[in-house]
Structure 1
Amino acid sequence: MTLYGVGLGPGEADLVTVRGKRVLENADVVYSPGRLSRSVALEHVSEETIGDLDFPMTKDEAKLRTAWKAAAAEIAPNAREGDAAFVTLGDPNVYSTFGHLRRTLEAFHPDVDLEIVPGVSAVTAFATALGVEIEAGAGLSLREAANGAAPTGPDRMILFKVTDAPATHEGLVDAGYDVTYGRRLFMEQGETLVTADPSALADRDYYTLAYAEKRDLEIDSATAAFARDGGSVDGSSASDDHERT
């Protein structure tokens, strides 16, 4: 039997993958680490299937270790006797709470079989939500920007956990970036907001990210466009291309 780490996607119930939905529907118990992931899971399973876990909102490592050890002890018997799922927003292996559980199970319950079901992550979904194209060959760096941090360096960055947008914005602008923010993208809970104005995000929200691109960045995108006179970019005509086919 197996414990499945299931990525629910950014928060809209219909962005759960087909595989993830199938695993949830067949699981004997579905564990949720928080209110938002629970609400998404409930779109696919009955409330009787949900097993809530209590994780303290603290940075105290001793308390966190105790909570994860207790969670692993709760989950392990059910994963040995049947199929269990642990749901998390985004992807289980990308900045996810599931990593804590996986490491704890490996340390104290190594006989539990684990399987990961990837989920759509805001790290990739942001491009659609913000109307951004990351063209082939472009570099993109993922950074954390909690508490006003403004990491710099690459030409393009996606920043997550932007909890102090005004402070982060000031640092990025000074470093030569143009910045667009997205809050609660593809989430059913709360208001979705896309803006270039950091003052609109003055209230702290963990589910805020930013896309930063170096100002005046020269982008040479590949194209298959044709010239206006009917000739192709390389000077040959459309009929020439037809003759070659």
Structure 2
Amino acid sequence: MLIAVGLGPGDPELLTIKAARLLREAEAVFVPGEMAYNLVEPYRSDAVTLDFPMTSDESYIEACMEENAKRIAPYAMKGTAIFGIIGDPNFFSTFSRLTAILKRDHPEIECETVPGISSITAFASVAGVPISRSFSVSDGSDPDVSITLKVRHPKQAAERLRGEGYSEFILVERMFMEGMAVFSGNELPDESSYFSILYARK
């Protein structure tokens, strides 16, 4: 198994308790650079630093991804390997590209993620700006994902979003709480808990 663990925004004390435990228990820990290594070092000093180049050369990036996947695979096949990544592994990270190669070459390897404090939420704390209304996040490209909080009528919300060009929907209700449920596609319920998040993608 390979687990991508979010390391937070840059402070070793902002790792979650679960992240610290997994780092200590794993057979092997890999990180994408010196900054990530410095974050995991208090918990796992034998972490292996891999090369993930910051370049626009797609062929070179792909070659590095292939090499990194080959190094991680043996550990992920026989036990639990951790890939520690700054921020959250599901937000603007290299993990999705890495797992695509692993799933292609080693479909038997299970891949999971453990969330970390992202730069989006950490920014509000550092800047001292509470966010209490809707906001948008962008890397400069045109958005193709919408995330809506507190969705009490998910079917109705999905129909509205379909009119805006969205076609893929996932609802998570009571995330990490008792009674957590995940709905997708045409299975969206008419009503849901206050603690619900609707993901939509064009």
Name the TM-score class by shorter chain: 0.5 to 0.7
User: What is the CA–CA distance in structure 2 between the aligned matches of 1:125 and 1:55, rounded to whole Å?
Assistant: 24
Matched, 1:139 2:104: no
Amino acid at match of 2:37: R
Task: Give the drift of 1:45.
Answer: 0.9
Question: Secondary structure in 2 aligned to 1:143?
Answer: coil
Task: Give the drift of 1:18.
Answer: 0.6
Q: Which residue does the alignment assign to 2:83? A: 86
Q: Which residue does the alignment assign to 2:114? A: 117
Superposed, 1:1-245 pairs within 5 Å as 2-46=1-45, 49-135=46-132, 138-145=133-140
Consecutive unaligned residues in structure 2, runs of 5 or more: 143-202
User: What is the CA–CA distance in structure 1 between the aligned matches of 2:101 and 2:135, rounded to whole Å?
Assistant: 32
User: What is the CA–CA distance in structure 2 between the aligned matches of 1:13 and 1:69, rounded to whole Å?
Assistant: 29
Amino acid at match of 1:62: S
Q: How many residues align?
A: 142
Amino acid at match of 1:126: F
Task: Give the drift of 1:36.
Answer: 0.3
Task: Give the drift of 1:106.
Answer: 1.5
User: What is the CA–CA distance in structure 2 between the aligned matches of 1:97 and 1:124, rounded to whole Å?
Assistant: 20
CA RMSD of aligned residues (A): 1.5
Task: Give the drift of 1:57.
Answer: 3.1
Whose RCO is larger (CA < 8 A, sep 6+)? 2
Question: Secondary structure in 2 aligned to 1:144?
Answer: coil
Q: Max radius of gyration: which structure?
A: 1
Task: Give the drift of 1:10.
Answer: 0.2
1:117-151 deviations in whole A, cap 9, x for unaligned?
A: 1000111111111111111xx11100125xxx9x9
User: What is the CA–CA distance in structure 1 between the aligned matches of 2:53 and 2:126, rounded to whole Å?
Assistant: 32
User: What is the CA–CA distance in structure 2 between the aligned matches of 1:42 and 1:16, rounded to whole Å?
Assistant: 12
1:183-222 deviations in whole A, cap 9, x for unaligned?
A: xxxxxxxxxxxxxxxxxxxxxxxxxxxxxxxxxxxxxxxx
1:222-242 deviations in whole A, cap 9, x for unaligned?
A: xxxxxxxxxxxxxxxxxxxxx
Task: Give the drift of 1:56.
Answer: 2.8
Question: Secondary structure in 2 aligned to 1:56?
Answer: coil
1:50-79 deviations in whole A, cap 9, x for unaligned?
A: 112122332111111111011111101111
Amino acid at match of 1:9: G
Query: Could you tell me whether the CA contact under 8 Å between 2:32 and 2:50 is conserved in 1?
Result: yes
User: What is the CA–CA distance in structure 2 between the aligned matches of 1:54 and 1:143, rounded to whole Å?
Assistant: 26
User: What is the CA–CA distance in structure 1 between the aligned matches of 2:5 and 2:13, rounded to whole Å?
Assistant: 14
Question: Secondary structure in 1 aligned to 2:138?
Answer: strand
Consecutive unaligned residues in structure 1, runs of 5 or more: 152-245
Task: Give the drift of 1:100.
Answer: 1.6
